[in-house]
Amino acid sequence: MNKLKKIKIKILSVLKSKLNNNWIKIPVSFFTLIFVAYFFLSKYTVNHQIDFIYGDTRILLDTIYLNDNGVHVDIIIPQNNEFVSYGWGSKIFYLNVSKREDLTFKIAFQALLTKPQSLMHVTKYKSKRDKWVSVPVTKTQLKKIKANIDDSFVKSDGKHVFASKGYHSSDMFYYAKGRYHAFYTCNSWANDLLKTSDMYACLWTVFSDDLMSLYKS
């Protein structure tokens, strides 16, 4: 099983155990409401005109890629003979959970319920990975995607504000706009970025599977 999937399962199991022990008391009706809202909003899609664009290969001049690691979607754009991956997310998760063993109930609680500072994880690749899902785009869509990504960064004097070194020499973290929480996750950001770039997207989602299912053939 993918390590990040195990992290997702651990978060759910930890939260469940705390609820069963009455550490957190939230009415069942609240969870029912959230589940119903998620089910309908994640299944309702927008920008259906993309179906017509897919049918006209003459204007599909570029390609971007989506990478799903099991719980998180990155958007990858070919730039200057390399591939640059952008992933928005919680500073707490990004800097404190590099492996499954790092995850604790305290970290999960802080990341999901305290609206922590967000970061942009930027990774550069020399070559395309087989697991990436290719998404054909028009010149106009690509321009909007790039502009929306750039607008997600916190800037000082027009430059992205550095936050931390990454996990390897090929990636870094920068401060990003917005706040991460249980109802607006890394996948919500990726989905909204595609939606505002006139791409096929869910009306709302917090999970990677909902977004990826729209583009996997």
Copy the structure tokens of residue 79. 């730039």
Copy the structure tokens of residue 131. 């697991």
pLDDT in tens, 145-194: 999 999 999 999 999 999 999 999 999 999 999 999 888 999 999 999 99
Q: How many domains does the chain have?
A: 1
- Phi-psi sector, 172: left (phi>0), alpha (psi -120 to 50), beta: beta
- pLDDT confidence of residue 6: 56
pLDDT in tens, 123-150: 999 999 999 999 999 889 999 999 999 9
Q: Pick the range with the lowest mean pLDDT from 77-86, 190-199, 207-216.
A: 207-216
CB atoms within 10 A of CB 122: 19
Instruction: Indicate the pLDDT class of residue 28, thresholds 50, 70 and 90.
Output: very low
Does residue 31 lie within any of the structural domains?
yes
Range of the domain at 169: 3-212
Whole-angstrom distance, CA of residue 196 vs CA of residue 145: 8
- pLDDT confidence of residue 13: 56
Cβ atoms 181, 79 nearer than 8 A: no
Q: How large is the average pLDDT for residues 69-76?
A: 91
pLDDT in tens, 87-118: 999 998 888 766 566 667 676 666 676 677 89
Does residue 217 lie within any of the structural domains?
no
